[in-house]
Amino acid sequence: MLVKRIIPCLDIQNGQTVKGINFVNIKEIGDPIEMGMKYVADGADELVFLDITATYEGRKTFVDLVKRIAANINIPFTVGGGISELSDVEKLLNAGANKVSINSSVVHKPKLIDDLVLNFGSKFIVVAIDASGDENNHWTVMVNGGRVASDKELFSWAKEVEDRGTGEILFTSMNHDGTKNGFANEQLAKLAETLKIPIIASGGAGTKEHFLDVFTKGKADAGLAASVFHYNEIPIPVLKNYLKENGIIVR
């Protein structure tokens, strides 16, 4: 078993960290740099910073904030939101980001993945997939911060994304996001069986047991969460000790 990663996610809006439930009911909760530095001290393996309204508002993501993050944080971090062309990625990587996360733009233009991989390499490219499942267990890929349904289906899109060379997939179940009822382990396990690249699980963390389940039942490579870390409901050192005690290899 490879080492599993614990990744706090900071959703950014107007320069502040925010949190919502099922992608709505957004409220501000803190300064992203201060919060990021605390997560480094707590033993987080990586961080993800997402500019959650950049695509919806039709603007570019936050290069200046990325420079400040890079100056203060010494663990790998991924940034996403509003990335639609090669120059966006170049600016973010030059500003200090370790990886970029791309969602809506590659759904609309899948060839962009090929171009990004060719120019920057697979290890720098994470494709984020937000998906919503219906009563028939059909999972539709959503874009524009979860506001708009695409014509793509979760599992076929994930396979295409891998075939085009992306280094990692960040899968968020919109059905589970912010509910604290557990991750979408059935869908995650199916993704893990289908794909060879790492899968970051997002949406639904509420207890330490949910992380254990996402690594055992969901077969995820990393567990990503926001509110349980932001509000210190699950301290990262406590979570890592719990996982170690239950046979999960963590840093």
Residues with a catalytic annotation lie at 11, 130
Report d(CA 225, CA 47) in Å as an integer: 10
Is the CB of residue 218 less than 8 Å from the CB of residue 189?
A: yes
- Give the CA angle between residues 60, 150, 210 to the nearest 5°: 85
Is the CB of residue 171 less than 8 Å from the CB of residue 161?
A: no
Report d(CA 137, CA 27) in Å as an integer: 31
CA neighbor of 177 nearest in space, from 14, 13, 25, 7? 25
Say which residues have a Cβ less than 8 Å from residue 97's Cβ, sequence separation at least 6: 66, 69, 70, 77, 78, 79
